[in-house]
Amino acid sequence: MKAKKTQGRFELLAPIGGLNARDSLRAMPETDAQALINFYPRTSDIITRRGYQQHCNSASGAIISTLAALIESDGTETLLAGTGTDLYDVTTAVPALAASTTSDVFQWCEFGNELFLVNGVDACQKWDGSSAASVTWTGSGLTATDLIDVHPFKSRLWFAEKNSASAWYGGLRAKSGALTEFDLTGLMSGSLYLIATVSRQTGAGDTSQIVFFSTSGDVLVYDGDPASSLVLVGRAKTSRLLSRQSVASFGQDLLLLTESGVVALSSLLNSPSPFPITDKINKAILSDVATYRSLYGWQVLFYPTENQVLINVPTTTSTSKQYVTNLTSGAFAEYSGVHAKAWCMFEGKPHFGTSGGIVHTFDSGTSDNGSTIPYIYVSAPTFLGARGVKKRVSRIAPCISVESSTQAPVYEVGGVYSSESDSIEDTLSSGITPWGSSWGAAWSVPYQVYDSWHSISTRDDGIVVKVSGDSTSGRLAIDGIKFLYDLGNYL
């Protein structure tokens, strides 16, 4: 297939900033990408993400600000949604009102086979899997409706009091009653924002520790039990957390979504210069923080089955995007079209709530609830083994694997300094079976492999390829790209 020469279409290859911007492209590792939108980076290829399907319509029409899941000891799972001024049971496609509240922004935890939820405005709520009820907590000098965060630690419930440096803890395995104050005044600036726990290896073996985060970025780590003594064993300073959903458990560590990226607690405590795991995309995150910091919906979620970390970035009151990383390879991608306001793991899958009161199951199916999934991949410049030497690329052969109903992609090939690009629309008409088998398609493999050669004419030192299209009812994977080229003179 002969390519069509175009000019001005290859906008992603010509970043604003002139020579310096293009020189920054030349410095990119060839294994990176300029853009990877709605692809998931695996260890050997990239593949278009799965879609999402409607799980439940709460019928509230309001933003779902909270999703909370309970897993009971017999394996039964239930799902609650905080939306408008109500808590709904959204376990099935048919919602049921669980409780009426003033605020729908809850922090929650599982404790003793029940969910406990607080929001700093209403009385603590308790969910047992079938019904919700208010819980009475008392404490000297405490207004119980000011409890704004809750977390279990060593068989006790711990709470954060809003606009205060006080934490409060309950009795051993107690689900209501008297709370005891644990005052952190003088140890942190600002107020207590969030409580978490982490597992640590010590000389005595594995031990759980409680972690307190302040509104100003102070981190305090305590070991022990309030029944005997709690000892401060670690402290650090970091950028402020972006929300009360900005901490996720990850193995024996915690991932912290801060104003300067995502950092592991272990790195923060053990290194004078903690290295953010989002280093490759930190410029994008810092730009998003500057633009969207005030919006509700910032969240970090660990997806254990796929070994992924998902970062939710609200872009308006009703839209969002996500950054996702493959923890095996350390590669990042961006998801668009998934307008989530709150995330939760439920029945092994990520679920999210929207601004319209609908709960969706994510990583499910090949469409976004019936809509196509647009994708874009823009490579880093490849210098074909001869940096600083001009090349004339005459043919390319993208190696892709597609499901039979996937729409054909469009390829654009250009250079770092070129203002023109070659555009090719594939027809997926000359595929080969895996292994080149004369027996036809490989057993139990739903993908067809294509590596057809396409004629182009691109001249430059560094060559960039853009692949775009719409994933309709099948997924597309890019395994690599082959080039046929001639070398010219040194630049």
pLDDT score for 15:
33
**Residues 328-335, mean pLDDT to the nearest whole number:** 92
The pLDDT tens digits of the residues spanning 295-305 come to 999 999 999 99
What CA–CA distance (Å, rounded) separates 446 from 127?
A: 43
Give yes or no: residues 44 and 75 share one domain. no
- Which range has highest mean pLDDT (30-34, 55-59, 201-205, 325-329)? 55-59
Give yes or no: residues 88 and 227 share one domain. yes
Expressed as residue numbers, the domain containing 445 is 4-49+376-490
Give yes or no: residues 63 and 37 share one domain. no
pLDDT confidence bin for 404, thresholds 50/70/90: low
* Residue at a domain's end among 321, 351, 371: 371
Q: How many domains does the chain have?
A: 2
The pLDDT tens digits of the residues spanning 231-258 come to 999 999 999 999 999 999 988 899 999 9
pLDDT score for 200:
76
Give yes or no: residues 34 and 75 share one domain. no
Give yes or no: residues 386 and 307 share one domain. no
pLDDT score for 18:
36
Q: What is the largest CA-CA distance in the chain?
A: 81
| Torsion from C-alpha of 265, 271, 273, 275, nearest 10 degrees | -50
Complete DSSP assignment for 294-341: TSS--EEEEEGGGTEEEEEEE-SSS-EEEEEEETTTTEEEEE-S---S
Measuring CA to CA, how many Å separate 457 from each of 12, 298, 382, 404, 464? 19, 45, 16, 30, 13
pLDDT score for 430:
42
Express as a percent the part of the chain with pLDDT over 90. 69
Whether the Cβ atoms of residue 344 and residue 67 lie closer than 8 Å to each other = yes
What CA–CA distance (Å, rounded) separates 280 from 212?
A: 28
381 vs 5: which has the higher pLDDT: 381
DSSP state of 280: G
Mean of the per-residue pLDDT values for the chain? 88
What CA–CA distance (Å, rounded) separates 281 from 126?
A: 39
* Residue at a domain's end among 307, 337, 371: 371
Complete DSSP assignment for 10-74: -GGGS-TTHHHHHHHHHTS-TTSEEEEESEEE-SS-EEEPP-EEEEEE-S--S-EEEEEEEE-TT
Residues 336-362 as b/e (b if ≥16 CB within 10 A, e otherwise) read bbbbbbbbbbbeebbbbbbbbbbbbbb
pLDDT at 8 over 60: no
* SS3 at position 484: strand
Tokens of 457: 């004419």
Express as a percent the part of the chain with pLDDT over 70. 88
The pLDDT tens digits of the residues spanning 17-52 come to 333 455 667 778 888 899 999 999 998 899 999 999
The distance from CA 261 to its chain's CA centroid, rounded to whole angstroms, is 12
429: Cβ–Cβ under 8 A, 6 or more apart, which residues? 452
Give yes or no: residues 317 and 388 share one domain. no
* SS3 at position 281: helix
What CA–CA distance (Å, rounded) separates 80 from 91?
A: 7
As beta bridge partners, residue 178 has 138
Give yes or no: residues 428 and 440 share one domain. yes
Give yes or no: residues 20 and 143 share one domain. no
437 vs 483: which has the higher pLDDT: 483
User: What CATH number corresponds to the domain at position 261?
Assistant: 2.130.10.10
Whether the Cβ atoms of residue 296 and residue 341 lie closer than 8 Å to each other = yes
Give yes or no: residues 279 and 326 share one domain. yes
Measuring CA to CA, how many Å separate 109 from each of 112, 126, 152, 271? 10, 10, 7, 30
Determine which helix (DSSP H) or strand (DSSP E) holds 399, and give its type and residue range.
strand 389-403
Give yes or no: residues 176 and 289 share one domain. yes
pLDDT score for 407:
77
As beta bridge partners, residue 344 has 351
Nearest to 297 by CA among 361, 341, 353, 360: 341
pLDDT score for 14:
34
What CA–CA distance (Å, rounded) separates 1 from 7?
A: 19
Whether the Cβ atoms of residue 405 and residue 367 lie closer than 8 Å to each other = no
pLDDT confidence bin for 405, thresholds 50/70/90: low
Give yes or no: residues 209 and 351 share one domain. yes
pLDDT at 427 over 80: no
* Residue at a domain's end among 356, 371, 386: 371
Give yes or no: residues 119 and 69 share one domain. yes
User: What CATH number corresponds to the domain at position 424?
Assistant: 2.60.120
- Which range has highest mean pLDDT (368-382, 388-402, 469-483)? 368-382
Tokens of 319: 């839209």
pTM of the model: 0.90
pLDDT score for 471:
86
